Structure 1
Amino acid sequence: METENETTVTEFLLLGFVYERDLEITLFIVFFLIYLVTVLGNLLIIVLIGIDHRLHSPMYFFLSNLSFIEIFMTTCVVPKMLANLLAERKTISFAGCRTQSYFYFFMGSTEFILFAAMSFDRYMAICYPLRYPTLMTGTVCVKMVIGSWIGGFLSVFLSTVLKARLPYCGPNVINHFFCDSAPLLHLACKDISLIEFVDFISSLILLLGSLSFTATSYIYIISTILKIPSAEGRKKTFATCASHFTVVSMGYGISIFVYVRPSQNDIMSMSKALAIFSGILTPLLNPFIFSLRNEQMKEVFRDVLKSIISKIKDG
């Protein structure tokens, strides 16, 4: 009988981008700068929301949690990828690979549920503005965020338990720059059809379920906006949810294409390119999307910057 004891693999070889040495150094510099800007940008959003009372509202509370998830998710992948770009042997330990894969998908699942929570917040703010302060209280928002984390955990729990029992006898080469689910699964020396089915169903429920909720919220939001008599009023109201809509569209579009499939073995090379966008570039773009399209955020940033400059001059 096959058991975990049949596993002989102690580490995996990540092929990454398989380029010449000079190009790998260039990629290291590019991805290092992207990672640095991503962490600092999302951290700046968290700090601004935390220190300025003008941003102490449900919308910004959810945004600060989204920024935390973006930092965590990109940190699951990029540091190890950067280390391997400089290393001769691009390896990751067996335990490290499983841990990386788990937390990457845990964070991603939590993010999609949080998207739904953020869309509900915008729905309440635009469709029920008079009741909004009493309905979306601090306690309600905290419960929604906790629910997002619990939902993210549960969505990957069964798949994680099944994958933990898979034996790996070799080969140990992963055609990716991180331990993505599909390439890791197809290295197991055991039938994986059940796990692929579980992954497909859980991805289907998570992505299409949260997308349906988000889309329904936006249908009501757009319907309400269109009823506003003045063009200026419609523009101002839509601006409060335009950033969220942009980020949601990018996130769902890529993830549904890559992960909501009965089998993912046929799109390995394509998933690598899309993973760069969803796991590295999207967390980079989010701070710019939310800050550059948000007048209140830009106002707070300018005031904080002026205050810092003033203190430096006085000091």
Structure 2
Amino acid sequence: MTSSVDPADSADLLGPVEIRSMAERLGVSPTKKLGQNFVHDPNTVRRIVAAADLSPDEHVVEIGPGLGSLTLALLDTVERVTAVEIDSRLAAELPATVENRAAPFADRLRVVEKDALRISAEDLDTPTALVANLPYNVSVPVLLHFLATFPSIRRVLVMVQAEVADRLAAVPGSKIYGVPSVKAAFYGDVRRAGSIGRNVFWPAPKIESGLVRIDRFLPGSEPWPIDAEARARVFPIVDAAFAQRRKTLRAALAGYYGSPAAAGEALAAAGIDPQLRGERLSVADFVHLAGVDS
């Protein structure tokens, strides 16, 4: 990781005492509805930023900044951070937290008060990286929404439930390989980037967490088109293939193609055994089946 910041001007990161004090002052009680678990360990947020391998000139979008634990560490490292926060109290407080604890970097922050799933391309100015402790109840939909909406995002480093992290990084043939695995891999190289214990959060969740890193395919070297038209052709086939995992592809894709016979013909034409199940196909296989790579 590289940094553009003088160590003497580094941000004053939040610890457990500060997190609880701020929450009490704001009258904030973390809610399951919003998937809120606040990170209170400075070493963990430094680890997340390091795993993202950010350049100083990055424009990072952070989803669900909460009380600002990760935000402060990001501002220490990159020249622009846009924080998307749905909770109006937290969105209003974040600039003050940055001013108090990272004053030299206050002008690097922009806060957007909005539901992350409703963010459009007009809301953000070409972010180059997504780094976030994603709200656990909507982590996959939010991740895929941002990958689809912002082609400018080249790097993703997100913290999600450990089970979700495993699924996102799963490979064909494994029991946990499924729709999230294929759709994430559609955009780039996906891998597990570490594990996070439950005790670095307040409140402590009942589950472990994991880091997932996605390095998006570079423009001009994509193995297949990853635009909206390609997604519209590939993703419905992926959804259908995994809707009933125990079915063969010939049966699972019957609805999509109109009949089992038509599905079998399409699969055979793509060089795919119709008796296989969806979990055996790579993202490249799905792309080929959709005719996007031709």
Higher helix share: 1
How high is the TM-score relative to the length of structure 1?
A: 0.22
How high is the TM-score relative to the length of structure 2?
A: 0.23
Greater Cα radius of gyration, structure 1 or 2 = 1
Higher strand share: 2
